Amino acid sequence: MFRCLASLLFTLVLAVAFAHPTAHAQNSQSAAAKSSDEKSATSKTDEAKSVDTSRGNVENGKKLFVSYGCYECHGRQGQGGGGAPRIGPPAIPVAAATRYVRNPTGQMPPYTAKVVSDQELSDIFAFLKTIPPPPRAASIPLLNQ
């Protein structure tokens, strides 16, 4: 009946959301982790070279995005939600994202090479790149009421 794990995650998310000095409540933790990874990734791009979105299979990436559970936290169009950040569009830096997926430090669970191959990651990132950017809020009357 009682959702212990749910409560734990909720607490963790809130704790982080209230704590991070720059990001808003929804994505502070992972955004911070991503930022940190971006810096380290610039000197370690070789590790991510094998993940190349230009070689990605968009259709397969779209399937994997669901079957591997990415959508559960990030939404079916990568829009983010709950404690998970938006991952596209705009397209996220592949090198940093790859490093983070392999060895996350926040709420993100690890997607190791054992369960997701480099090619599959390429497919997923290729799919994310195909999602068209959303309209600006100013152009949507429902968001200006």
Partner 1 sequence: MKKQKNSVNRREFLKGAAGTVAAASTVAASLVTNPTPAAATPAMHANASAPTLAKVSPTEAVSIESITVDRPGSDFMVDCLKSLNFEYLCANPGNSFRSLHESLINYGGNKAPEFITCCHEESAVAMGHGYAKIEGKPLMVCVHGTVGLQHASMAIYDAFCDRVPVYVILGNFPDAAMRFGQVDWTHSAQDPAAMIRDFVKWDDQPVSLQHFAESSIRAYKIATTPPMMPVALVAGHELQEDPIADGANLSVPKLTMSSPPAGDSSAVDEAARMLVAAENPVLVTDRVARTPEGLARMIELAELLQAPVVDRNGRMNFPTRHALNHTERAGAAVGSADLVMGLELTDFWSAVHSVRGIRNPVVQSAVKPGTKFISVTSNDLYLKSNYQDFQRYQPVDLAIAADAQATLPSLIESVKQQMNDDRRRAFADRGAKHASAHQQTMQMQREAATAAWDASPISTARLSAELWAQIKNEDWSLVSNCQFVSRWPLRLWDFSKHYHYIGGEGGYGVGYGAPASVGAALANKKHGRLTVSIQNDGDLMFAPGVLWTAAHHRIPLLIIMHNNRAYHQELMQVQIMANEHNRGITRASIGSVLTDPAIDYAKLAQGMAVHSEGPISDPNDLGPAIKRAIEIVKNGEPALVDVLTQPR
- Chain positions contacting partner 1, by CB under 8 A: 1-3, 5-7, 9-12, 14-26, 28-29, 32-33, 67-69, 71-73, 75-82, 84, 86, 89, 105-107, 109-112, 114-116, 134-137, 140, 142-145
Q: Which is nearer to partner 1, 54 or 114 (CB)?
A: 114
List of residues 6+ apart from 27 with CB closer than 8 A? 80, 83, 84, 85, 86
- Rounded to the nearest 5 degrees, what angle is found at the Cα of 33, between the Cα atoms of 105 and 29? 90
Shortest Å, Cβ 130 to partner 1: 14
Q: What angle do CA 94, 84, 116 make, to 5 degrees?
A: 45
How far apart are CB 47 and partner 1 at their closest, in Å? Answer: 19
Q: Which two tokens stand for residue 42?
A: 């610039």
Closest to partner 1 by CB, 24 vs 39, is 24
Q: How far apart are CA 102 and CA 109, in angstroms?
A: 9
In terms of CB distance, is 111 or 125 closer to partner 1? 111
The CB-of-83 to partner 1 minimum distance in angstroms stands at: 9
Contact 30, 89 (CB under 8 A): no
Tell me how far, at minimum, the Cβ of 21 lies from partner 1, in Å: 3
